[in-house]
Amino acid sequence: MGASAEGEEDEVVSAVDESMVGGSTTTSLGQQQQQEMVAATSAEGENFKRQVSSRDKAYRLWSKVKYQLVKFEALPEHLRDNEYILGHYRANWPLGPTLLSIFSFHNETLNIWTHLLGFLLFLGLTIFTVSKLPRYVEPCIEQLLRMRTGIITSLPSYLHLPHCLDSSSLSGTGSSENCSVSLFVQKHVTRWPFFVFLGGAMFCLLSSTTCHLFSCISARWSSFLLRLDYIGIALLIAGSFYPPVYYSFACSPFLRNMYLCVITTIAIGTVMVSLLPVFQTSKYRTFRASLFFGMGISGVVPCIHKLFLYKESEPVLYQTLYLEVLMGLLYGLGALVYATRIPERWKPGMFDIFGNSHQLFHVLVVAGAYTHYESGLLYLKWRDVKGCDTW
Give the H or E element holding residue 136: strand 136-137
Is pLDDT above 50 for 21?
no
Grade residue 335 by pLDDT with cuts at 50, 70 and 90: confident
Grade residue 169 by pLDDT with cuts at 50, 70 and 90: very low
CA distance 367 to 322: 15
Amino acid of residue 108: E
**pTM score of the predicted model:** 0.73
CA distance 240 to 199: 10
Grade residue 89 by pLDDT with cuts at 50, 70 and 90: very high
Q: What is the pLDDT of residue 283?
A: 77
What is the b/e burial string over 47-68, where b = at least 16 CB atoms within 10 angstroms of the residue's CB? eeeeeeeeeeeeeeeeeeeebe
Is pLDDT above 80 for 55?
no
Query: Options 1.10.10, 3.30.70, 1.20.1070, 3.30.310; which CATH number does 95-135+190-386 get?
Result: 1.20.1070
Average pLDDT over residues 248-262: 94
Is pLDDT above 50 for 183?
no
3-state secondary structure (DSSP) of residue 169: helix
Report percent pLDDT > 70 for the chain: 68
Task: Using the Cα atoms of residue 299, residue 359, residue 283 and residue 345 in order, give the sign of their dihedral.
Answer: positive
Task: Using the Cα atoms of residue 351, residue 355, residue 361 and residue 366 in order, give the sign of their dihedral.
Answer: positive
Nearest to 288 by CA among 341, 240, 246: 341
Identify any residues that bridge with 28 across adjacent strands, giving them in sequence order. none
Helix axes 300-310, 219-248, angle to 10 degrees: 10
Higher-confidence position of 37 and 195 = 195
CA distance 282 to 263: 27
Is pLDDT above 80 for 156?
no
Grade residue 207 by pLDDT with cuts at 50, 70 and 90: very high
Nearest to 247 by CA among 370, 385, 382, 146: 382
Q: What is the pLDDT of residue 389?
A: 59
Q: What is the pLDDT of residue 180?
A: 42
Q: What is the pLDDT of residue 339?
A: 87
Higher-confidence position of 142 and 132 = 132
- Residue 343 preceded by cis peptide, ω within 30: yes
Identify any residues that bridge with 59 across adjacent strands, giving them in sequence order. none
Average pLDDT over residues 279-291: 79
CA distance 230 to 233: 5
Grade residue 171 by pLDDT with cuts at 50, 70 and 90: very low
Is pLDDT above 50 for 175?
no
Higher-confidence position of 188 and 85 = 85
- Asked whether 216 and 95 are in contact (CB, 8 A), the reply is no
- Asked whether 102 and 120 are in contact (CB, 8 A), the reply is no
C-alpha distances out from residue 45 to 32, 56, 299, 362, Å: 20, 16, 78, 60
CA distance 42 to 39: 5
Identify any residues that bridge with 70 across adjacent strands, giving them in sequence order. 89
Q: What is the pLDDT of residue 277?
A: 82
